[in-house]
Amino acid sequence: MSGEAIEVRGLTKRYGDDTAVAGVDLTVHRGEVFSFLGPNGAGKSTTVEILEGFRRRDGGSVRVLGEDPGTAGRVWRSRIGVVWQQETQVPALPVRDLVRHFAGYYPESHDPDEVVERVGLAEKAKALPSSLSGGQRRRLDVALGIVGRPELLFLDEPTTGFDPQARRDFWSLVRELADGGTSIVLTTHYLEEAEELADRVCVIARGRVRALGDPATLGGRASARATVHWTVEGRRRETVTDEPARVVGELSACFDGEVPGLSVHRPTLEETYLELIGQDGGAEAAGRSTV
């Protein structure tokens, strides 16, 4: 379908005297994985709940799949999927029957058995939700979120409780959904998850957008100065440079080959993120952020 999946301009939300969202602009393209990062209380959850149609805004314009989520009806809601941070409250039905039950709410759902298989619950298809482990219960939440074949999928901390292998299996599922044209909004505290999955990352702090970009270039990562480390007679040496390749070449010539203890470090996503959310007054000085 044409148009952007999400378009937001000047979004604001206040709770009494506190401003949770302070003039956010953002766009989410069709078929992309867009990740929100930010500390607790930053305004990202409020923003996402407004996009989902579960919270009213105080100002600004919001279009999600071409409609205002504050007034959109059932047909619009059938086009989105939500995986909540908290477990979905469900009837005491076996996993397969439960997914089939939820599929009935949507006009063009996925095959329930295929969904159970895709989230890794085929062996638990006849089990009750109360008997599932925490990670398995989270997979069930994901199954309920995707069974309706959503055009736009909201994932709020979807891999909480997953072991490393289950998390990587889930990442494969997200890529598969995105490759199939599903637009995905991901909220996560796992920075490696955002770096692995997101086409673009949006860092929010104090209700404002602090940075936006693909994970590799966010906050100037790609152009940031590199630190080159090496060892000379047991002592650690380093230099900070804009040209790490040149420095490594010069060191190689000096050592006539292998450089002892050589390493080249650029800022990680975690380091960049911590610097962004630790800025004091940076967003206010820049004015309203545009994404």
State pLDDT tens for residues 173-218.
Answer: 889 889 988 999 999 888 889 988 999 999 988 889 888 888 877 7
d(CA 138, CA 88): 9
pLDDT confidence of residue 285:
32
Residues in Cβ contact with 210 at an 8 Å cutoff, skipping those fewer than 6 apart: 203, 204, 276, 277, 279, 282, 283, 289
| Cross-strand bridge partners of residue 27 | 7
d(CA 150, CA 102): 13
Three-state SS at 78: coil
pLDDT confidence of residue 2:
53
Three-state SS at 219: helix
0.75 surpassed by pTM: yes
Give the up-direction half-sphere exposure of residue 24: CA atoms within 13 A in the CB hemisphere.
37
Of 53, 10, 5, whose CA–CA distance to 28 is shortest? Answer: 5
d(CA 272, CA 267): 6
d(CA 256, CA 239): 19
Three-state SS at 227: strand
Neighbour tally for 248: CB within 10 Å: 17
d(CA 6, CA 200): 14
Q: Which tokens in the block code for residue 81? A: 């999927």
Chain centroid offset of residue 116 CA = 23
DSSP label of 88:
P
pLDDT confidence of residue 249:
86
Amino acid sitting at position 92: A
Q: Which tokens in the block code for residue 133? A: 């482990």
The segments of the chain whose pLDDT lies below 70 read 1-2, 219-223, 279-291
Neighbour tally for 108: CB within 10 Å: 9
| Cross-strand bridge partners of residue 33 | 184
Of 181, 169, 180, whose CA–CA distance to 136 is shortest? Answer: 169
Three-state SS at 93: coil
pLDDT confidence of residue 286:
35
Q: Could you say which architecture CATH assigns to the domain 6-215+273-286? A: 3-Layer(aba) Sandwich (3.40)
d(CA 48, CA 181): 20
d(CA 120, CA 105): 22
pLDDT confidence of residue 223:
66
Three-state SS at 40: coil
Domain edges within the chain: 6-215+273-286, 225-265
